[in-house]
Amino acid sequence: METTQSGVDAAPPGDDGSAPQTTRVGVVRETNPGERRVALVPKIIAGLVKQGVQVVVEAGAGQGALIPDTAFTEVGAVIGDPWPAEVVVKVAPPSDAEIAKLSAGQTVIGFLAPRNADNKIGALRDAGVRAFAVEAIPRISRAQVMDALSSQANVSGYKAVLVAASESTRFFPMLTTAAGTVKPATVLVLGVGVAGLQALATAKRLGGRTTGYDVRPEVADQVRSVGAQWLDLGIDAAGEGGYARELTDEEKAQQQQALENAIKGFDVVITTALVPGRPAPRLVTAAAVEGMKPGSVIVDLAGETGGNCELTKPGETVVVHDVTIASPLNLPATMPEHASELYAKNIAALLELMLVDGVLAPDFTDQVLADSCVTRDAEAEAKTDSAETSVDTTDSTADTSDSSVAGSAGKEQG
Ligand SMILES: NC(=O)c1ccc[n+]([C@@H]2O[C@H](COP(=O)([O-])OP(=O)(O)OC[C@H]3O[C@@H](n4cnc5c(N)ncnc54)[C@H](O)[C@@H]3O)[C@@H](O)[C@H]2O)c1
C-alpha cells in the first residue's frame, strides 16, 4: 500500500484504473474461554454496509451474545471465513493460532493488552499486521465514542454491584415491613473512574447508602453528582492523562491506615482502583477485612492486575473472617448482549475514522489513529513524520515494554 505525502495510506486502484474496491471487514468468533462478546453486532453492521463496507462474519460469531447467523445476513453481512479480510475485528487479544491465520498487510482492531508483558503485539508486528489497540485510544473528547475501556468499564461497574448484592447476606434498600424495618446497606466504592462511578450509581438505584473514594480530588464532584458521599483522606495523586499516579510508600501507608478505619463501617466495598501499567494498588489490607462485620462483601474489580484487596484471589470468591471477597474477571463477557452492542459502536467509530468512501485509508496525522496503532512499521513512521503535521506521533510505534506503549492511555482491561 502506498503512503501519500499527507501520511494517508491509499488503497490501490483496481487493475483497470477503476475505483478501489470497498473494504472487507471480518468479524471473528472469539475463542478465549468465557468470552461471549462479539466485535460487531447486526445493528452496527447495517450502518457499515450502507457505507459500502463488505462484512464477513464467522459462523457462530454471535452465538455467545445470542445473535444468530441469520441476524447478520439480514443486514447484508455474509457468513464465511473472516480471517482473510482486509480488516479483522476482535474483542480479546488474538492467540498465536489466530495470528497464524493473518497475513502481512492486514489490519486487526481489538483489545491487545499493550501494557501486558506477554502481549502479542510483537508477533503481530513480525507478521506484518497493522494492529490497533482500543486500550491506546487517547482519552480526548472526540474519541469518547470509540472509548472501549469506558464502555466496558460501565458494564463491569454495574455488574460488580449485582455480584455484591447477590453475595450479600443483607438487603441493599431500606425496607419498612410489618415484620420490622431493615436499614439500607452502606456501600463504599474505592477508585471512582468509569467503573466506580457506574458502581456508585447502580448501588444507589438499588437503595444502598453510597460513599466514594479516589486519590484524584476532582472526582469528588462526580461522586456527589450520583448521590454518594465523598470520603476525603487528604491524598492527592492525580497523574497524567486523567489517570492516577502511584502513591509513594508513605502515602500508601497513610492511605491503608485511614481506609482500615473507614472500611469497618461498610457492608459492601467495591474496589476498582487502577494505575496504568502498574500492579493494582493495595487499598484493603487483611486487617481491614478482619475489622469488617461478618456477612460483609468485597467485590474486587482489579483482580487482573493483582487485586486491590490483600486477600483477593483473582477469578475466585473466597470467604475470610466471614467476609466474602469476590474477584470476578472479565465481567463484560457476562453481559454479552449490551457489552457487545457498546463495543461494536466503539469499533465502528474507530473503523469509520479509517475509511474514505468505504475504502481503508488511515490518516496517521490523526492523533486517535496514530496513538492507537501499535504496530506501524518504521517505513510508514518515517513517511508520516516527514509529512506536514502538528501531531506528535512519536509514541505510536509500540513496543511490548511499558515505556513504549503506543499512546498515553494504553492499559490492560477488558
Ligand atoms: N474521553 C475522555 O475524556 C475520557 C474517557 C474515559 C475516561 N476519562 C477519564 O479518565 C479517568 C480515568 O478513568 P478510568 O476509569 O479509566 O480509571 P482507571 O481504570 O485507570 O482507574 C480507576 C480509578 O482508580 C483510581 N485510583 C488509582 N489509584 C488509586 C488509589 N491508590 N486509591 C484510590 N483510587 C485510586 C483512579 O484515580 C481512577 O479513578 C477518569 O477521570 C475518567 O473520567 C476520560
Active-site residue (options: 147, 214, 300, 371): 147
The pLDDT of residue 369 is 97
| C-alpha 398 – ligand 1 centre gap (Å) | 22
Which residue, 397, 408, 368, 371, is CA-closest to 241? 408
The pLDDT of residue 242 is 80
What average pLDDT score do residues 296-307 get?
97
- Encode pLDDT of 65-100 as tens digits: 999 999 999 999 999 999 999 999 999 999 999 999
* Dihedral sign (CA 79, 85, 87, 92): positive
- Look up the pTM and report it: 0.88
Report the range of poorest mean pLDDT among 37-41, 73-77, 328-332, 356-360: 356-360
What average pLDDT score do residues 156-175 get?
97
What average pLDDT score do residues 119-127 get?
94
| C-alpha 150 – ligand 1 centre gap (Å) | 10
Task: Tell the residue number behind the cell numbers 463477557, with chain if given.
Answer: 333
Check whether 398 has a pLDDT greater than 80.
no
Report the range of poorest mean pLDDT among 26-35, 200-209, 276-285, 339-348: 276-285
Check whether 159 has a pLDDT greater than 50.
yes
| C-alpha 137 – ligand 1 centre gap (Å) | 15
The pLDDT of residue 181 is 96
User: Is the CB of 274 within 6 Å of ligand 1?
Assistant: yes
The residue whose CA is least distant from atom 1 of ligand 1 is: 139
Active-site residue (options: 243, 300, 327, 371): 243
User: Is the CB of 278 within 6 Å of ligand 1?
Assistant: no
Check whether 6 has a pLDDT greater than 50.
no
Whether 269 and 190 have beta carbons less than 8 Å apart is answered as: yes
Q: Predicted confidence band at 21 (pLDDT cuts at 50, 70, 90)?
A: confident
The residue whose CA is least distant from atom 9 of ligand 1 is: 242
The residue whose CA is least distant from atom 20 of ligand 1 is: 274
Number of Cβ atoms within 10 Å of the Cβ of 177: 7
Q: Which residue has the higher pLDDT, 236 or 130?
A: 130
Active site residue 213: no
Q: Predicted confidence band at 235 (pLDDT cuts at 50, 70, 90)?
A: confident
Active site residue 63: no
What average pLDDT score do residues 12-40 get?
82
| C-alpha 106 – ligand 1 centre gap (Å) | 33
Whether 412 and 113 have beta carbons less than 8 Å apart is answered as: yes
The residue whose CA is least distant from atom 44 of ligand 1 is: 139
Q: Highest mean pLDDT range out of 231-240, 292-301, 374-383?
A: 292-301
Check whether 400 has a pLDDT greater than 70.
no
The residue whose CA is least distant from atom 14 of ligand 1 is: 193
User: Is the CB of 209 within 6 Å of ligand 1?
Assistant: no
| C-alpha 242 – ligand 1 centre gap (Å) | 7
The pLDDT of residue 403 is 31
User: Is the CB of 188 within 6 Å of ligand 1?
Assistant: no
How far is residue 13's CA from residue 306's CA, in Å, rounded to a whole number?
A: 50
Q: Predicted confidence band at 392 (pLDDT cuts at 50, 70, 90)?
A: very low
Check whether 368 has a pLDDT greater than 70.
yes
Check whether 138 has a pLDDT greater than 60.
yes
Burial class (CB in 10 A: 0-12, 13-18, 19+), 230: middle
Check whether 407 has a pLDDT greater than 80.
no
Active site residue 158: no
